[in-house]
């Protein structure tokens, strides 16, 4: 009887509601306190984040202002190119610039522009402050490098770091354009061999072809030729830009009527993606062939820069407006009315064989110097400063 009473007492649940209610009240009280604390701090955190975001946007306004100034070098508020020895205010960081809305001033920025690592780069540092420069609630500091794609004006319609053979019915001429100065038809560090009686090379303003000095500049100093080369930094920037535009290729590439060439900066890289040196494996180099009717443009003309990290062979009725830069050998055998208007350069970095310009007897290969088309790729290469990929960064204040 006593054992039964003990078990009944243990199994009896009367009185359990009070502890459970107290436990639940404790949990609810804890949650209420936590939510109360959050309610008092979250608006402050959100406001701080909002203020920091505003300061960052103000700093980015400084980047935009400096980029505009670089791209309007002749404007009264622009920045000359190249930069002067003393950069004028406000681009030397000396003067705050207000950023205002209709409701009043939001904040201010200071911006500093300096020369970059190479001639076509500029470094920009902008500091954005909210609400003012003297006693800011938030301040953000941003740095970028901006780049403008440009090439040294080519010295000739065709420039070769090595030997050159010109044959067939080839026409290479710098007669019609002297906007960048009087240029020769061909410019080489080695010899130039004009074969047969139909090939012609003309310099600017010269009525007689194939004359040494006025039409053909051969045996030029290597150091002088190298001033016209793209730097490794230029090549890397062009590669990054082509990747962003979907105009980047690698290895062996054939452009034809079934695989069209897009306009713009067309970059054909090595198979490995590594830069070419004089000791590079030839098997790793890009090997590009272009046939007639390859351009995708409705006018049948490729507009842009053709950058080949290897060798290039052109055949057939191919038309191009722009600049061709070939790290190794160039072979051009044209037919029909095909021609290159702009300029071509062959660096011959690895092979010792000469660049060959030739034609079949039924057509012609033609390279006509045009400084403007070489500079802007027939209107498809941006000639303005833009942010270099991978350089945007926030700096400590």
| DSSP, residue by residue, 224-235 | HHGGGSPPHHHH
**170 & 136 share domain:** no
Residue 285 falls inside a structural domain: yes
**79 & 167 share domain:** no
Own/partner pairs, 47-55, CB within 8 angstroms, 24+ separation: 48/138, 51/130, 51/137, 51/138, 52/138, 52/140, 54/106, 54/107, 54/128, 54/130, 54/138, 55/107, 55/128, 55/129, 55/130, 55/136, 55/138, 55/139, 55/140
Cα-trace Rg, the chain: 33
The residue that leads in pLDDT, 383 or 331, is 331
Residue 353 contacts residue 361 (beta carbons within 8 Å): no
Residue 10 falls inside a structural domain: no
**281 & 390 share domain:** no
Residue 35 falls inside a structural domain: no
Residue 361 predicted with pLDDT over 60: no
Provide the number of structural domains found in the chain: 2
The residue that leads in pLDDT, 334 or 126, is 126
**276 & 352 share domain:** yes
pTM: 0.76
Give residue 116's domain range: 52-148+385-395
Please give the pLDDT value at position 18: 75
Please give the pLDDT value at position 334: 87
**222 & 356 share domain:** yes
Residue 303 falls inside a structural domain: yes
Instruction: Band the pLDDT of 390: cuts 50, 70, 90.
Output: confident
Residues found in the chain: 397
Count CB neighbours of 352 within 10 A. Answer: 9
| Average pLDDT value for residue range 325-332 | 94
Residue 2 falls inside a structural domain: no
Peptide bond into 90 cis (omega under 30): yes
Mean pLDDT for the chain overall: 89
Q: Which of 314, 374, 306, 362 shows the shortest CA–CA distance to 339?
A: 314
DSSP result, 361-372: TTS--EEEE-HH
In sequence order, the β-bridge partners of residue 123 are 114, 145
Please give the pLDDT value at position 59: 96
Residue 20 predicted with pLDDT over 60: yes
Q: Which of 372, 375, 357 shows the shortest CA–CA distance to 265?
A: 375
**92 & 235 share domain:** no
Q: Which of 154, 216, 214 shows the shortest CA–CA distance to 190?
A: 216
The residue that leads in pLDDT, 125 or 52, is 125
Least confident range from 20-34, 112-126, 162-176: namely: 20-34
Residue 37 falls inside a structural domain: no
User: What element of type H or E holds 284?
Assistant: none
**238 & 103 share domain:** no
User: Phi, psi at residue 295, to the nearest 5°?
Assistant: -60, 140
**138 & 167 share domain:** no
**231 & 120 share domain:** no
Q: Summarize pLDDT for 58-71 with one digit per residue, the tens.
A: 999 999 999 999 99
**357 & 234 share domain:** yes
Residue 23 falls inside a structural domain: no
Least confident range from 59-68, 80-89, 345-354, 365-374: namely: 345-354
Residue 33 predicted with pLDDT over 80: no
Residue 335 predicted with pLDDT over 60: yes
**160 & 139 share domain:** no
In sequence order, the β-bridge partners of residue 99 are 107
Q: Summarize pLDDT for 83-137 with one digit per residue, the tens.
A: 999 999 999 999 999 998 877 788 999 999 999 987 888 999 999 999 988 888 8
Q: Summarize pLDDT for 249-280 with one digit per residue, the tens.
A: 999 999 999 999 999 999 999 999 999 988 88
**130 & 174 share domain:** no
Q: Quick check: helix, strand or coil at residue 289?
A: strand
Distance between CA 38 and CA 48 in Å, rounded? 15
Count CB neighbours of 50 within 10 A. Answer: 12
| Average pLDDT value for residue range 220-236 | 93
| Beta carbons within 8 Å of 233's beta carbon, 6+ residues apart | 117, 118, 121
| 269: Cα separation from own chain's centroid | 15
Please give the pLDDT value at position 6: 56
Residue 270 falls inside a structural domain: yes
């Amino acid at each position: 009887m006593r054992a039964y009473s003990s078990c009944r007492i243990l199994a009896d649940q009367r009185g359990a509601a009070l502890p459970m209610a107290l436990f639940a009240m404790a949990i609810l009280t804890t949650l209420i306190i936590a939510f109360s604390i959050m309610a008092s701090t979250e608006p402050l955190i959100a406001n701080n984040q909002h203020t920091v975001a505003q300061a960052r946007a103000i700093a980015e306004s400084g980047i935009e202002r400096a980029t505009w100034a670089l791209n309007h070098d002749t404007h009264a508020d622009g920045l000359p190119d190249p930069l002067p020895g003393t950069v004028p205010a406000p681009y030397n960081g000396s003067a705050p610039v207000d950023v205002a809305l209709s409701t009043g001033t939001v904040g201010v920025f200071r911006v500093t522009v300096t020369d970059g690592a190479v001639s076509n780069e500029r470094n920009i540092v902008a500091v954005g402050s909210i609400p003012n420069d003297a006693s800011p609630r938030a301040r953000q500091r941003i740095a970028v490098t901006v780049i403008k794609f440009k090439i040294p004006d080519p010295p000739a319609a065709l420039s070769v770091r090595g030997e050159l053979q010109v044959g067939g019915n080839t026409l290479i001429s710098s007669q019609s354009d002297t906007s960048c100065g009087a240029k020769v038809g061909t410019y080489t560090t080695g010899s130039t061999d004009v074969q047969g009686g139909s090939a012609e090379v003309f310099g600017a303003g010269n009525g007689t072809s194939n004359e040494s000095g006025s039409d053909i500049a051969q045996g030029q100093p290597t150091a002088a030729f190298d001033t016209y080369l793209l730097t490794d930094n230029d090549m890397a920037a062009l590669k990054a830009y082509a990747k962003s535009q979907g105009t980047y290729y690698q290895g062996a590439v054939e452009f034809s009527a079934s695989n069209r060439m897009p306009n713009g900066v067309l970059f054909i890289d090595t198979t490995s993606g590594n830069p070419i040196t004089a000791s590079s494996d030839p098997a790793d180099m890009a090997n590009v062939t272009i046939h007639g009717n390859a351009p995708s443009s409705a006018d049948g003309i490729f507009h842009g820069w053709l950058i080949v990290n290897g060798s290039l062979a052109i055949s057939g009725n191919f038309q191009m407006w722009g600049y061709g830069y070939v790290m190794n050998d160039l072979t051009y055998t044209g037919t029909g009315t095909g021609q290159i208007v702009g300029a071509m350069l062959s660096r011959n970095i690895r092979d010792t064989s000469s660049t060959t310009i030739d034609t079949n007897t039924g057509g012609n290969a033609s390279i006509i110097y045009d400084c403007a088309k070489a500079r802007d790729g027939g209107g498809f290469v941006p000639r303005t400063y833009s942010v270099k990929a991978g350089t945007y960064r926030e700096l400590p204040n």
